[in-house]
Amino acid sequence: MFSPEMCLWMIPFLPLLGSVIIVTLGRRMFPDRCHVPCIAGAIGACVCAVVVFVGVISETTPLRFGREIAWIQVGNFSANFSLRADGLTAVMLVMVTFIGSLIAIYSAGYMEVDESYPRFFAAVSAFLFFMTGLVLANNFVLLYACWEGVGLCSYLLIGFWYEKPSAAAAARKAFLVTRLGDIGLFIGILILWHNFGHSLEYDDIFVNVKAQYDAGVLDHNLLYWACICLFIGAAGKSAQFPLHVWLPDAMEGPSPVSALIHAATMVTAGVYLVARCTPLFGLAPDAQLLVACTGGFTALLAALIAVTQTDLKRVLAYSTLSQLGYMFLALGSGVVVGEHKLAGLAVTAAIFHLFTHAFFKALLFLAAGSVMHAMHDVIDMTKFGGLKKVLPITHWTFLCGAAALAGIPLLSGFWSKDEILATTYEAWHVSGGAASGIYCLLFFTALFTAGLTAFYTARAYFMTFHGDEKLPPEAGEHPHDATPIMAWPLMILAVGAVGVGIVLGPTHLFESVLEKKWITAQFAHLASPHSTNLLLMVTSSVVACIGVGIAYWLYVADPSAAASVASRMASIYDLSRSKFYFDEIYELAVVWPMNAFAFICRVVDQYVLDGLVDLFGQVPAVFGYLVRPVQNGLVQFYALLMALGLAGFLLSVLLR
Amino acid sequence: MSPAHLEGYLVVGAVLFALGLVGFLTRRNMIIMFLSAEMMLQGVAVNLVAFAHFRGNLGGQVLVLFIVAVAACEAAIALALVLMLFRRRKTLDVSVWQELREPDQEPIEDEGTLEAEEKPEDFQHLTPAGAEPPARKDTEEVSHV
Amino acid sequence: MISLLLFADGEGVRGFFRENWLVLLPCALGFVAIYLLMPRANRLPALWGGVLAGLALILGGFVLARSQVFSVETILFLAFSGLAIAAGVMMITQSNPVHAALSFAMVVLSVCGLFLLQAAPFLMAATIIIYAGAIVVTFLFVIMLAQQEGPSNADQRSREPFLASLAGCVLLASVWSIVHKTYQPGDVESLLATLTKVAAVKNTDDVKQVLGDPQTMKPTERDLPLVEQLRKHFASLPPDHKTLNDIAAIKLHWAKLDVDNLKASAEAVRKELEPHRNRQGSLGSDTPHPKEKTPVRFEPGKLPAGNVAAIGRTLFTDYLIPVELAATLLLVATIGAIVIAGRRSEELR
């Protein structure tokens, strides 16, 4: 029963079962207990994931399941329900199911007051099903199906309060923008299928590409475009520039959703995809450079915007963008130049950051949700302050998460961010020519962004929990701290945010798992060993501390300083405040022309096409009007018509 | 039996058939319509019998026997139906059944005037002697659906 | 009517009328007569229509009888069919339903006379009993039950008399012209009939009666129509074929009034011609099945004298299952009639 292979399919199946139970029975039989199937499914999946993880570590080959269960079979196109678990999958699975379980438990407390309790948990369960399926899939078609599935669940959950116009709009925006990326992904999959062996299994494609590469017949242009298309899909899902506009708006959903989907799991699907396809990207340096540039630019841009936002959840959303940018920067830095093969290092760094980020960002979102819960849905940081005493549990857990995010030494964010910086630094040094300059620029951008990250994180922390105690009128007299069911997940995550780095970072446990169970099996030719760069660690620590220090100076030591600094840099401040006018630019450049085009189409459709169709429709109507008197209900008249018809027919035969 | 003879019988059968058809199409009394249909059957029977003789094959005569059997069934059922229809509308006129016409069509009415029909003579009624009997319930108007 | 316009071309129409005017004339007369006789609000006196109908009847009778030998059978046929048609016309034109039903009884009786002429005495008896005896009486019952006050308003009017009469007339004209074309002289059937007659002659007088007297004819008129039509029919054969020789022999022996050889030649040609008969539309083959024990098929035009026995044999051999089905049908109809008519409505109680 609990063999790792069995657990493989039970991981997605248990949340699906939970979702089906809630959908079919929940609303009628136990509307107040709908969290039970969801939490049970998530925890069951988590247990199975741990079993799978142990299995992966102890086995020499990846676990596989269902290679022979055919799904689609058309001509030479075939897709199976094949699942696989190697090091990367196992890490992702443990992360997704563990965080998912905690967030499901937290939601049971957070969503208690809502009327659509069953709908929420059904969607969360379905999301866990699709997300684990996405991670477990062993071919691109299954991955694509689950990819769309998580998109759907994201849409349902962002628009959970669909009666709120802004939530409905945000859901639509998220769905449409990610669809743009999905088209890219789809085209990429088609290119891969068509050119690399007419198979969609990962291994077949990777082996084929490597064989072509070794034989010197690889079409580099084709691979480049395939990678670009895959990256467009990843960028859409992971909200990278220029498809980043949906993520900040997605904060309209409930806070646990923001934590689960839009911080910890779904948005990392893009990172996962690019990491999974490292055997392809490693052979396409140009595509890697693009990935790195996009990542670095997004990281900087989002950090700059986050600095001035006053909405706590928005700050966290932009910080998510920024951190995802970091991951892509790391992935894009996995260059292979001669003896220097950085792909292994890069992927490890990105996945490690993904892992730690999931902990502290989920924690931050849940803590923000707790604040929001206490403040009765007020989330504007200017409206409250000094909540240290009012919400002690929330304060301490938030502090843990913020410190980890800021990159305070020895906390989890420090270790993983340092690895990314180290990778970029290596890439700068080993690559030559123009690429070297670009990586240099990206390295300093990343360093600067690290400082910005520390600054805005500290800013959010200080504005919320320090200073004079200030409560919005909506919160009432006695705001309450997190209830136990919400507090426990917060505390577990806080421990994780603090401890994960120190356990996995210096001990290189994480690297060794990925290295042994994934990288050596998949792309040993792209990876080589590397060493820790102590100087870089010190530098990043200093930068982080400077960021925090500035924030302390501006928002705690001298609260009036912030305003004066802002007024001195008014133009930049406004630019950042208004998110660099991206929404407005998109409105003007994309939405308006589209609307105009749609209007033209509507006019053509309504007056030209419909007119034509109506005209044809009128022909039988007119004919029917002409012959309608025949139907006068007199049986003899009908018989007469029959007789006349027969007579006419006979005559026509006779007279011919 | 010469072909010329056969031609004569076939033509007589056709004439009977055509007359029955015309009767069926024009007459409005349901019973006469039905009689006309029977006359069409007679035309067919003449035809069959003539061919049976001409070909020396008794199949034609047997078929006429079947026609007689079917006609008997038909008469039984159709007359029962006619009676039922008559009970509904109190008339044998087939023209009162026009409900299956198109919704926007006007029902077809009789046109032209007949010679003034003789009205039954109006006899003088005497008041009945004695107490008035209680009104019968089942003489109430029954709705014709 | 649209199809008529589409398919007809002027030449075809003219040709059709030229060939069939003799048939079309009584039909047209009958059409006008029926139209005039139909009951309606202000109709002409029945005399006009009656005269026209009588004219049509006489004309039609003449057309049918002109190619037949004048015999008792012909007279009876003309009498019975005339009676049937006249009664039929009366049936559909009477405004009084009771009279119509009685006219229908007359039609049935006349048709029974025709049955008798066609060697179907059993059918005659059965039809008289069932139709005239049972069905018509039932009709009369219903009429009496429903219309106790005599002819109603509906009986005084008819629906679309013109179009209906036209349709009937066109149908009749089509059928008649087709029948006329099919069984005219020169057709296989009529040739066969003549040959059978020739093969059955007993002496020179018979020959003279059937084919004409060769001694009184001028040599230029001695081309026998029968022989010419036979040659035309067998034109596709090679000139020295045996059948053509036999045909020539018929003429030769007739000219010499050689009865025995004439009979032999006619019989030979008849046997050759027999397979050319048109079998289309016949119910099964006319030749008996090899395993058939009781013969139920007979020579053309010769039905057995034991009509009832022969029909019984046919019914219970070839048509056994239909007989059973008919029996079931009668049972079902009986039950159905009881169910439908037995439902009493309030006002009839």
**pLDDT at position A348, please?**
87
Cα Rg of chain B (Å, integer): 24
Q: Is the pLDDT of residue C332 over 90?
A: yes
Q: Chains meeting A at 3+ CB pairs closer than 8 A?
A: B, C
**pLDDT at position C283, please?**
47
**pLDDT at position A264, please?**
82
**pLDDT at position C169, please?**
92
Band of residue A653 on the pLDDT scale cut at 50, 70, 90 = confident
Q: Is the pLDDT of residue A311 over 90?
A: no
Average pLDDT over residues A537-553: 87
**pLDDT at position C286, please?**
55
Q: How many residues does chain B have?
A: 145
SS3 content of chain C, % helix, strand, coil (to 5): 70, 0, 30
Average pLDDT over residues C132-158: 80
Q: Which residues of B touch C88 (CB under 8 A)?
A: 15-16, 19-20, 39
Tell how strand A336-337 and strand A77-80 pair up: unpaired
Average pLDDT over residues A396-425: 87
Q: Choose the CATH number for B3-96 among 1.10.287.3510, 3.40.50.720, 1.10.10.60, 1.10.260.40.
A: 1.10.287.3510
- Interface check for B133 against chain A (CB to CB < 8 A): the answer is no
- Interface check for B94 against chain A (CB to CB < 8 A): the answer is yes
**In CATH, what is the architecture of C188-276?**
Up-down Bundle (1.20)
| A285-308 helix and A434-465 helix, angle to the nearest 10 degrees | 30
Q: Are residues C170 and A653, on separate chains, in Cβ contact within 8 Å? A: no
Q: Are residues C168 and A649, on separate chains, in Cβ contact within 8 Å? A: no
Work out the minimum CA distance from B48 to partner chain A, whole angstroms: 21
* Signed CA dihedral, A457, A458, A463, A469: sign only: positive
Contact between B139 and C348 (Cβ < 8 Å): no
Average pLDDT, chain A: 86
> Tokens for C296?
């139920």
Work out the minimum CA distance from A613 to partner chain B, whole angstroms: 25
Q: Is the pLDDT of residue A216 over 80?
A: yes
Average pLDDT over residues C27-55: 87
Give the whole-angstrom CA distance, residue A315 versus residue A247: 11
| Residue C83: how many other CB atoms lie within 10 Å | 17
Q: Are residues A655 and C170, on separate chains, in Cβ contact within 8 Å? A: no
Q: Are residues B53 and C118, on separate chains, in Cβ contact within 8 Å? A: yes
* Signed CA dihedral, B62, B64, B68, B71: sign only: positive
Which of B44, B51, B62, B67 to substitute to test the interface with C, most C CBs within 10 Å?
A: B62
**pLDDT at position C222, please?**
63
- Interface check for A627 against chain B (CB to CB < 8 A): the answer is no
Which of A138-147, A551-560, C108-117 has the weakest average pLDDT?
A551-560
CB proximity list for C181: less than 8 A, separation 6 or greater: C19
Contact between C164 and C43 (Cβ < 8 Å): no
Q: How many residues does chain A have?
A: 656
Average pLDDT over residues A353-373: 89
Average pLDDT over residues C133-144: 85
Q: Which residues of A touch C163 (CB under 8 A)?
A: 640, 644
CB proximity list for A381: less than 8 A, separation 6 or greater: A310, A311, A312, A315, A460, A463, A464
| C204-211 helix and C259-273 helix, angle to the nearest 10 degrees | 50
- Interface check for B89 against chain A (CB to CB < 8 A): the answer is no
Average pLDDT, chain C: 81
Average pLDDT over residues C194-204: 81
Q: Is the pLDDT of residue A85 over 90?
A: no
Torsion of CA B129, B134, B138, B144, to 10 degrees: 70
Query: What would the pLDDT profile of C61-106 be if each residue is shown by its tens digit?
Result: 988 887 777 788 889 999 999 999 999 999 999 888 888 999 999 9
Work out the minimum CA distance from C27 to partner chain B, whole angstroms: 9
Q: 3-state DSSP call for residue A85? A: strand
Q: CA of B22: which chain A residue's CA is closest?
A: A640
- Interface check for A626 against chain B (CB to CB < 8 A): the answer is no
Q: Chains meeting C at 3+ CB pairs closer than 8 A?
A: A, B
Query: What would the pLDDT profile of A338-350 be if each residue is shown by its tens digit?
Result: 777 888 888 888 9
Contact between A352 and A504 (Cβ < 8 Å): yes
Q: CA of A643: which chain C residue's CA is closest?
A: C167
Band of residue B115 on the pLDDT scale cut at 50, 70, 90 = low
Judged on CB neighbours under 10 Å (0-12, 13-18, 19+), A463 is buried
Q: How many residues does chain C have?
A: 349
CB proximity list for A264: less than 8 A, separation 6 or greater: A95, A96, A99, A103, A357, A358, A359, A361, A362
Give the whole-angstrom CA distance, residue C127 versus residue C108: 8
- Interface check for B97 against chain A (CB to CB < 8 A): the answer is yes
Work out the minimum CA distance from B139 to partner chain C, whole angstroms: 7
Angle (nearest 5°) at CA A404 between A399 and A405 = 100
- Interface check for C61 against chain B (CB to CB < 8 A): the answer is no
**pLDDT at position A281, please?**
87
Q: Residue A539: CA atoms inside 13 Å, Cβ hemisphere, count?
A: 16
Q: Is the pLDDT of residue C161 over 70?
A: yes
Q: Are residues B16 and C84, on separate chains, in Cβ contact within 8 Å? A: yes
**pLDDT at position C32, please?**
92
Percent of chain A with pLDDT over 90: 20
A385 bridge partner residues: A470
* Signed CA dihedral, A374, A380, A384, A390: sign only: positive
Judged on CB neighbours under 10 Å (0-12, 13-18, 19+), A89 is buried
Q: Are residues A636 and C4, on separate chains, in Cβ contact within 8 Å? A: no
DSSP letter, residue A555: I
Distance spanning both ends of chain C, measured CA to CA: 51
Q: CA of B93: which chain A residue's CA is closest?
A: A634
**CA nearest to A432, candidates A561, A340, A547, A353:** A340
Assigned CATH topology for domain C2-182:
Four Helix Bundle (Hemerythrin (Met), subunit A) (1.20.120)
Average pLDDT over residues C126-130: 91
Tell how strand A340-341 and strand A83-85 pair up: unpaired
Query: What would the pLDDT profile of B76-92 be if each residue is shown by its tens digit?
Result: 899 888 888 888 888 88
Query: What would the pLDDT profile of A242-295 be if each residue is shown by its tens digit?
Result: 888 888 888 888 888 888 888 888 888 999 999 988 888 888 888 888 999 999
DSSP letter, residue C297: B
Report the residue from B61, B80, B111 with minimal CB separation from C123: B61
Q: Which residues of B touch A629 (CB under 8 A)?
A: 105
Q: Evaluate the omega torsion of the peptide bond into residue A242 and state whether it is cis, within 30 degrees of 0.
A: yes
**pLDDT at position C333, please?**
93
Distance spanning both ends of chain B, measured CA to CA: 57
**pLDDT at position C211, please?**
77
Band of residue A600 on the pLDDT scale cut at 50, 70, 90 = very high
Give the whole-angstrom CA distance, residue B59 versus residue B51: 9
CB proximity list for C86: less than 8 A, separation 6 or greater: C53, C57
Band of residue A59 on the pLDDT scale cut at 50, 70, 90 = confident
Q: 3-state DSSP call for residue A64? A: strand
Number of Cβ pairs < 8 A linking chain A and chain C: 58
Give the whole-angstrom CA distance, residue C90 versus residue B36: 11
Query: What would the pLDDT profile of C264-301 be if each residue is shown by its tens digit?
Result: 888 888 888 777 765 554 445 555 566 655 555 676 67
Q: Are residues A653 and C7, on separate chains, in Cβ contact within 8 Å? A: yes
